[in-house]
Structure 1
Amino acid sequence: MDQTLPRPVTITEMVENITRQKGDQTAIVYLGQHITFNELLERSQRVADGLRRLGIGEGDRVSLWLPAVPAWLITYIALCRLGAVAVATNTKFRSSEVQDIVSRSQAKAIIMWPGFKHIDFEGILSDIDPTALTALQTVILYSEDKTEPAHHILGRNTVSYHALEQSPPYTADHATPESGCNIFTTSGTTKAPKLVYHKQSATAGHLYDINRAFGLDQPGKSVLHMIPFCGVWGFDQGMMTLAGGSTLYIMPFFDPAEAARLIQAHRITHTSASDEAVRCLLEVNDTPVPFPSLELIGFAAVGGGSSQDLVLEATRRGLTLRGLYGSSELGALFSLQSDTLAPEDRTQGGGICVNPETQVRTRDKQSGNILPHGERGEIEIKTPSRMVGYLNNPEATQTAFTEDGFFKTGDLGYTRDDGSWVFLSRLGDAIRLSGFLVSPAEIEGYIETHPAVSEAQVVGVQQARKIWLCAFIIPADANKLDNQLLRQYCEKGMAKYKVPQHFEPIDAFPVTLSANGNKIQRAKLRDMAESIMRRSLAPAT
């Protein structure tokens, strides 16, 4: 990339800058289809015109309920041109989650792929109360075969995504540095996830920083994309690849054998992956050095448990894993460990921040004092890529920052004297499930909507490489609690990865009595859950 390119302040500027330099080069490869930067820009302009004709304009929100397909990125770029906002919506979400996010974000349209992985997306929408989605006007249906919709959903008009791409290119630009562009969900202490709101200048600047930190502004680089765009990790990886002028190979879902084939066939240089994905890649190719073209794998241990053996095996077989850090509030790929460190240090979360203006410090939670290098405390970060705030939640936004503008991450770690830092673990009760950070309160809140449930508490315990969830239930009527029906209720309303593996009736939760009120002993519940897990998984005798 030409190093004289200015730092972009909008997504439109970022895309147009790189297109002027890389126009005829391949931007995206998807299922064998090649999309050049010129085609990417033009298709986004056509979709922008189609959306404009549907009444989408500055400040409006559109839910992108899609897997990792080029249409996700094309629609995102189109929305940014219009000054509108993309609401990232996980395809694993079910009716209660989709209703909550679309309703609270006041999305004016939702785009989905009805036939993806044979999931009944229309059925999920039909379970939503239409009156709860007061702002929703249009449902846009994406398909790989360009099928035309012929019916209404939730009483709203339907439009095919293909029709949007047939509109004439819309070249006017309504984006400003202060325009909103993204809404992501993140776990919270309440029964609903918080909605994280970002603006274009912070997002475009962050993408500019991370593509340089990862070396994707250099010729001949390519990225294999194996994760959804609906999370900040997937979004930032996809968009930073395009921002750097490199080629993005998109997989709509993770298939280890196909991922290994793509890396080898196209000599892919970069990717990022969880510990489980790295393990799968190594298992499908047993050669001593399976992927010699890979220069960097951004690494995050999200499965729980120790990944030391995996790290050593990956290193022995020629893979350079480098630890990452990110959050919905600050952006993903936010920092990257140095490749000069020993493997066990290089694969820890944290690292060197991609933006040189970023400040990282640790604070002792009890004393409130800022800690010296090497001492563990809560990580606080001040950076240009920070969110605007939590949508329609000024109290939570104010609580999330210190008076001098540092974001309180809720993560445990320490700083190093070379300017880098190390992430150790989450503080509090948040649980990492299927790569997503989830508050137990969110799961508990949904379970408590079942008429047979009075109260619920959900805890997670480590089971080999994953988290085993146990829901402790105080029944509304002990004679009417049917565990199988409760499981089905959860599977219908929540993403599968949030559904507990076990439901345990209990007369009362263990509590600690104090003058400030009773506090549930979650540590004791975790001990109880571990005993239950061991019994349930023990072989029959």
Structure 2
Amino acid sequence: MDFYALLSQHAQTAPDRIAIDDNARQLHYAGLLAEVDRVAALLAQRGARRGDRLALWMPNCVEWLVTFLASARLGMTVVAVNTRFKEQEVGQLLKRGRCKWLAFWPAFKGLPFIETLQRVDPTVVGQLQGILTIGDESAAHPLRDHWPALDLIPYPGVATSHSLNDPGQAEDGALVYTTSGTTSAPKLVLHRQQGLIRHGGMAATAYGVTAQSAVLIAAPLCGAFGFSTMLSGLVPGATLISLAVFNAKTTVQQIREHAITHTFANNELIDLLLKETAGEAQPFPSLQYMGYASFAPSMDDLPERAQQAGIPIAGLYGSSELQALVAGHRLDADWQYRRAAGGTLASPDGRVRAIDPENGHVLPHGAIGQIEIKAPSLMSEYLDNPDATKIAIHPDGFFCTGDLGFTVDERTFIFQGRDGEHLRLAGFLVNPMEIEAFIRGLDGVQAAQVVGAELNGKTVPVAFVIASTEADVDEERIINACQTSMAKFKVPARVAFVEQFPMVQSANSNKVQKHELKRIAQTLLEENPHATR
């Protein structure tokens, strides 16, 4: 099945059911179908065709979902762009994704979308065939100063009926996630329409989502966590509730007003909801399942606090390659397991195994090793990168997650941690090599290393830099450059200058002692958490 067939089915069987409500706009399923038809026709009239790629750079909103579904209707692939990304990251995605189209909300909440786009390599933006602009059409006019020939398409524009000669199909690429890879450049993870819909159906069955459910999308739709949550509700035809910018008070109101039955959130968000409803015995009686991911290491007691508030909470597991919600604990699981990340695979056909990193042998249940998963939700490929795809997926179909854990049975496992140096920053998985590569490109920098340290209960990046001889570079300049060019959560909290990195020698190579840098970084933050100015 493709997305348009799925949406048409819901519009026919439940036309008046609320499909999505973002607290600013609401569409029923019949209205959602009509809006998807209109936007698809609008893009098709401007030349959008099956196989094209569209960068979708918006917060959670009705327009995000409509644009995605309209792209699927046309057989276009959406490249999801985080709203926190700056020019380096946006330009990289437009170029590597070979995007012909861009959809964004230029005046949203005063965020500098226009300024960011103006700082992207002009040749990259100049290759776009058109830009779909949400909101005030005039807000995008400054782009014409840089690209006079750029086709600016107003989202509210009127589209005449347009027959599609080659509409989207189930096997078409639908969505590309950005995920941190083993190099400084993030990997682009491609999922096809049929795979996404199949995963949404399995997740809905696994966690009890039905057409009568109300699902709160608590994470950004540009990431696997938010998008998989959306899928778990869209596939069975449930009601989707979201918010463009998280606000605890408003979210509490949404949960109560819409009688939210399901949500999947990180522990930081759940903590804010608990604080907002402090003192209430059972603040959310409508909730039937709240899956959570642990993004803040200092909140280890959150499952117990949620349970005391009567919230049916359970740990989850997911990734961009496998989709979020690929695994989650059942509510009848032993608490020692249920409170932890991991769970039972949503697919009855899924399998998990722990591998001994030394010899590649499958370990017995209970033994900690590298987690590998085989599931129908697995990505189609790393976009335009068959070599990386071949490395990540074994010939027998198991995916190397890069995580450590142990299996309970052939479909259930407990997550123990990352098998590597990736950092979980503001809920997003980031390879420090990405930040290091940017800092190394700055004038006066000879080498850079980035590690994570804890500040106010959250993991933040700290950079260690070896300056070039007689270079005029300091902490403030490096941090300012990072703030200008990358998402805020990637910007180092501190930058320390060293003459050399602590190293350990081995028979084959010399390696930087990351654990020693982490110790120094933590001490640095405890002594002075703020960069020198």
Q: What TM-score does the superposition give when structure 2 sets the normalisation length?
A: 0.95
Structure-to-structure mapping, 1:264-283, within 5 angstroms: 264-283=256-275
Q: Which residue of the partner structure matches residue 5 of structure 2?
A: 13
Q: Which residue of the partner structure matches residue 56 of structure 2?
A: 64
Instruction: Tell me, yes or no, if the aligned pair for 2:107 and 2:139 is still in contact at 8 Å.
Output: no
Q: Which residue of the partner structure matches residue 191 of structure 1?
A: 184
Which AA in structure 1 matches 2:337?
Answer: D
Instruction: Tell me, yes or no, if the aligned pair for 1:275 and 1:303 is still in contact at 8 Å.
Output: yes
Match among 80, 105, 123 for residue 97 of structure 2: 105
Match among 47, 56, 63 for residue 39 of structure 2: 47
What is the Cα deviation at residue 403 of structure 1? 2.5
Match among 458, 464, 488 for residue 480 of structure 2: 488
2:469 paired with 1:460: no
Q: Do the aligned partners of residues 80 and 482 (structure 1) sit closer, same or farther apart at CA in structure 2, a change above 3 Å counting?
A: same
Structure-to-structure mapping, 1:481-520, within 5 angstroms: 481-520=473-512
What is the Cα deviation at residue 164 of structure 1? 4.5
Which AA in structure 2 matches 1:254?
Answer: F
Q: Distance between the aligned counterparts of 1:509 and 1:167, measured in 2?
A: 63
Which AA in structure 2 matches 1:473?
Answer: V
Q: Which residue of the partner structure matches residue 202 of structure 1?
A: 195
Q: Which residue of the partner structure matches residue 377 of structure 2?
A: 385
Report SS of the residue matched to 1:50: helix
Match among 279, 288, 302 for residue 281 of structure 2: 288
Instruction: Tell me, yes or no, if the aligned pair for 1:236 and 1:332 is still in contact at 8 Å.
Output: yes
Report SS of the residue matched to 2:326: strand
What is the Cα deviation at residue 312 of structure 1? 1.2
What is the Cα deviation at residue 201 of structure 1? 1.6
Q: Distance between the aligned counterparts of 2:163 and 2:465, measured in 1?
A: 54
Q: Which residue of the partner structure matches residue 179 of structure 1?
A: 172
Q: Single out whichever of 459-468 and 103-112 deviates more from structure 2.
A: 459-468
Q: Do the aligned partners of residues 423 and 173 (structure 1) sit closer, same or farther apart at CA in structure 2, a change above 3 Å counting?
A: farther
What is the Cα deviation at residue 479 of structure 1? 4.6
Map Cα deviations across residues 13-64 of structure 1 (whole Å, 9 max, x no partner): 2222222211221111222533110110111111111111222111110000
Q: Do the aligned partners of residues 513 and 165 (structure 1) sit closer, same or farther apart at CA in structure 2, a change above 3 Å counting?
A: farther
Q: Distance between the aligned counterparts of 1:304 and 1:478, measured in 2?
A: 40
Match among 295, 302, 307 for residue 295 of structure 2: 302
Instruction: Tell me, yes or no, if the aligned pair for 1:433 and 1:498 is still in contact at 8 Å.
Output: yes
What is the Cα deviation at residue 490 of structure 1? 0.4
Q: Distance between the aligned counterparts of 1:262 and 1:163, measured in 2?
A: 27
Report SS of the residue matched to 1:318: coil
Q: Distance between the aligned counterparts of 1:18 and 1:212, measured in 2?
A: 17
Which AA in structure 1 matches 2:169?
Answer: T
Which AA in structure 2 matches 1:192?
Answer: A
2:310 paired with 1:318: yes
What is the Cα deviation at residue 218 of structure 1? 4.7
Map Cα deviations across residues 316-350 of structure 1 (whole Å, 9 max, x no partner): 11111111111111111111101012444212122
Report SS of the residue matched to 2:102: strand
Which AA in structure 2 matches 1:231?
Answer: G
Instruction: Tell me, yes or no, if the aligned pair for 2:463 and 2:494 is still in contact at 8 Å.
Output: yes
Instruction: Tell me, yes or no, if the aligned pair for 1:11 and 1:77 is still in contact at 8 Å.
Output: yes
Q: Distance between the aligned counterparts of 1:485 and 1:139, measured in 2?
A: 34
Q: Distance between the aligned counterparts of 1:370 and 1:437, measured in 2?
A: 27
Q: Distance between the aligned counterparts of 1:165 and 1:251, measured in 2?
A: 26
Q: Which residue of the partner structure matches residue 527 of structure 1?
A: 519
Q: Distance between the aligned counterparts of 2:125 and 2:360, measured in 1?
A: 43
Gaps of 5+ in 1: 1-8
Q: Which residue of the partner structure matches residue 132 of structure 1?
A: 124
Q: Do the aligned partners of residues 150 and 491 (structure 1) sit closer, same or farther apart at CA in structure 2, a change above 3 Å counting?
A: closer
Which AA in structure 1 matches 2:118?
Answer: S
Instruction: Tell me, yes or no, if the aligned pair for 1:69 and 1:250 is still in contact at 8 Å.
Output: yes
Q: Distance between the aligned counterparts of 2:473 and 2:138, measured in 1?
A: 44
Q: Do the aligned partners of residues 41 and 13 (structure 1) sit closer, same or farther apart at CA in structure 2, a change above 3 Å counting?
A: same
Instruction: Tell me, yes or no, if the aligned pair for 2:129 and 2:151 is still in contact at 8 Å.
Output: no
Structure-to-structure mapping, 1:254-265, within 5 angstroms: 254-265=246-257
Instruction: Tell me, yes or no, if the aligned pair for 1:471 and 1:500 is still in contact at 8 Å.
Output: yes
2:385 paired with 1:396: no
What is the Cα deviation at residue 165 of structure 1? 5.7
Gaps of 5+ in 2: none
Q: Which residue of the partner structure matches residue 433 of structure 1?
A: 425
Q: Single out whichever of 477-486 and 450-459 deviates more from structure 2.
A: 477-486
Q: Which residue of the partner structure matches residue 424 of structure 1?
A: 416
Which AA in structure 2 matches 1:189?
Answer: T
Q: Distance between the aligned counterparts of 1:185 and 1:372, measured in 2?
A: 34
Instruction: Tell me, yes or no, if the aligned pair for 1:471 and 1:504 is still in contact at 8 Å.
Output: yes
Map Cα deviations across residues 284-309 of structure 1 (whole Å, 9 max, x no partner): 112121111111111111112352x2
Q: Distance between the aligned counterparts of 2:125 and 2:509, measured in 1?
A: 37
Instruction: Tell me, yes or no, if the aligned pair for 1:79 and 1:86 is still in contact at 8 Å.
Output: yes
Instruction: Tell me, yes or no, if the aligned pair for 1:103 and 1:134 is still in contact at 8 Å.
Output: no
Report SS of the residue matched to 1:52: helix
Match among 56, 69, 74 for residue 66 of structure 2: 74
User: How many residues end up aligned between the 2 structures?
Assistant: 527
Q: Distance between the aligned counterparts of 1:453 and 1:401, measured in 2?
A: 37
Instruction: Tell me, yes or no, if the aligned pair for 2:45 and 2:162 is still in contact at 8 Å.
Output: no
Instruction: Tell me, yes or no, if the aligned pair for 1:81 and 1:173 is still in contact at 8 Å.
Output: no
Match among 28, 33, 39 for residue 25 of structure 2: 33
Instruction: Tell me, yes or no, if the aligned pair for 1:88 and 1:185 is still in contact at 8 Å.
Output: yes
Report SS of the residue matched to 2:461: strand
Instruction: Tell me, yes or no, if the aligned pair for 1:106 and 1:135 is still in contact at 8 Å.
Output: no
Q: Distance between the aligned counterparts of 1:152 and 1:497, measured in 2?
A: 27
Percent identity between the aligned chains?
35
Instruction: Tell me, yes or no, if the aligned pair for 1:152 and 1:158 is still in contact at 8 Å.
Output: no
Which AA in structure 2 matches 1:260?
Answer: V
What is the Cα deviation at residue 524 of structure 1? 1.6
Q: Distance between the aligned counterparts of 1:184 and 1:209, measured in 2?
A: 20
What is the Cα deviation at residue 159 of structure 1? 2.5
Q: Do the aligned partners of residues 173 and 78 (structure 1) sit closer, same or farther apart at CA in structure 2, a change above 3 Å counting?
A: farther
What is the Cα deviation at residue 417 of structure 1? 2.8
Q: Which residue of the partner structure matches residue 5 of structure 1?
A: none
Q: Distance between the aligned counterparts of 1:147 and 1:160, measured in 2?
A: 11
